[in-house]
Amino acid sequence: MKGDFKMDSQFEKIKVLESSNTKKELDLKLYGEEQAKAVLKFHKQIEEYKKTPLVCLPNLASKLNVGSIYVKDESKRFLLNAFKGLGGSYAMFRILCDELSLNPDTTSLNDLLSEKYKKRLEKIEFVTCTDGNHGRGVSWASGIFGCKAHVYMPYGTAEVRAEAIRKVGPAKVEITDLSYDDTVKYALEMSKKYGWILIQDTSWDGYEKIPTWIIQGYLTMSYEITDELENLNVIPTHIFLQAGVGSMAGGMIAYFVELYKNKKPIFTIVESNVADCIYRSAEIGDGKSYSVGGAPKTIMAGLNCGSVCSLIWPIIWNYTDFYISGSDDMAVDGIRAYAFSEGEDSKIISGESGASTMGALLGVLAEPSMEEMKKKMKIDENSVILLINTEGDTNPENYRKIINGDWNN
């Protein structure tokens, strides 16, 4: 691919909020290293399992005057083009063990898939709401286990995202005329009406067990990162995490805080500015989480969620240091920075949500008006920055428009 990455002024693209919260220590063992090892043990039994790349971008780091930039590239995960299959598959395994009265600590994937349980698994049906990536993971996992699945998607979802879900598994997919949050409620209604099992990546009072398993499923990603960084004798100083409902971000924060203890990295949450429920909750600053109403529109489909996961909010509130709310242009800059890599740096194919943290990082480091904020964030020439590319080109047509310069907001 030929081309150069050029970034316009970021001044109107992002706003940054420093946490004003007095931190309170929480028990994070649910998302600690031992739990991560148990989750990884399960994922390694899946035929398609392969550790995803941790990409170093030394030339970009030099250009931005930081020590190093590492990117965990989840576009390579399970051939799903996104990380979400980690959570869906592990949660489904735990649910099915419960349904069949099996001990998950002693039950292997082969045990569960044996002829003994086949007919019972075929009768089990899952349901979920998704903007794309979570639904793809649920559809794919239901195919592995021989179950049925129903996936509902919010209004405005690109048909290509729905078709991607159908291609990887047996799920029946429907695009609704509802917002994301209302589609979650609809999926819940369908679960009650038909006796389906709701497998949703957010939580509320009375619905916590399954979301906990989903969040724990993401820990494989965390463990792979720290295992590789340990071999390099590297500890990240700054971690930028994108958030929709915040499940992945909160789980990652918990893992890194629990692991690094007194060497806690500086955490920054990145959201779309039309669905920035976490940013707005932090801005209000009373310790409660608040929702963003209406039907927001953004190209960052994976971040287009109006309410934060209740399980994860206390972790985000107590351990996040900075919050960034950014426009679609922020994501576009991130996509192009990955695509038109600096010097000999590896090219990374990233979708709109996946590239949001790169766009946010550029907004802080490449815009003169952000110099004071950069100092507050303690980003300097020694900083080791970790980003997660949570998805590849999940909307290929939009991706092509962006890298070809044909995209218009």
Mind listing the pLDDT tens digit for each residue in 243-267? Answer: 999 999 999 999 999 999 889 999 9
Task: Using the predicted structure, report yes or no on whether residue 3 has a pLDDT greater than 60.
Answer: no
Task: Using the predicted structure, report yes or no on whether residue 168 has a pLDDT greater than 50.
Answer: yes
- Cα 101 from Cα 103, distance rounded (Å): 7
* pLDDT band at residue 12 using 50, 70 and 90 as cut-offs: low
CA distance readout (Å), 55 to 27, 285, 308: 31, 36, 29
Average pLDDT for 15-39: 94
pLDDT of residue 1: 36
pLDDT of residue 205: 92
The matching CATH number, chosen from 3.40.50.1100, 3.20.20.70, 3.40.50.880, 3.40.50.12780, for 85-203 is: 3.40.50.1100
- Cα 208 from Cα 196, distance rounded (Å): 17
Return the ∠ at Cα 312 (arms to 307 and 313), rounded to 5°: 60
pLDDT of residue 365: 95
CA distance readout (Å), 198 to 6, 119, 163, 243, 337: 44, 20, 21, 21, 38
Model confidence over 34-82: pLDDT tens digits?
Answer: 999 999 999 999 999 999 999 999 999 999 999 999 999 999 999 899 9
Task: Using the predicted structure, report yes or no on whether residue 140 has a pLDDT greater than 50.
Answer: yes
Average pLDDT for 328-340: 97
Active site residue 84: yes
Dig out the tokens for 351 from the structure.
């979708």
Q: What is the pTM of this model?
A: 0.94
Kindly list the domain boundaries of the chain, sorted by start residue. Answer: 14-82+218-403, 85-203
Catalytic residue among 84, 148, 264, 374, which?
Answer: 84
Which residues partner with 242 through β-bridges? 270
What are the strands of the beta sheet with 54-56, ordered from one edge?
Answer: 14-18, 322-326, 266-272, 238-242, 384-389, 68-73, 54-56
**Could you check whether 14-82+218-403 and 85-203 share the same CATH topology?**
yes
* Percent of the chain residues topping a pLDDT of 70: 97
Average pLDDT for 225-233: 97
Task: Using the predicted structure, report yes or no on whether residue 401 has a pLDDT greater than 60.
Answer: yes
| Domain 14-82+218-403: top CATH class | alpha beta
CA-closest candidate to residue 175, choices 156, 196, 160: 156
Average pLDDT for 392-400: 95
Catalytic residue among 13, 72, 131, 264, which?
Answer: 131
The CB-based long-range contact list for 30-35 (8 Å cut-off, 24+ gap) reads 30/212, 30/216, 30/254, 31/215, 31/216, 31/219, 31/251, 31/254, 31/255, 31/258, 32/254, 32/255, 32/258, 32/259, 33/223, 33/255, 33/258, 33/259, 35/216, 35/219
pLDDT of residue 72: 99
pLDDT of residue 185: 96
Active site residue 375: no
Length of the chain (residues): 409
Average pLDDT for 328-337: 97
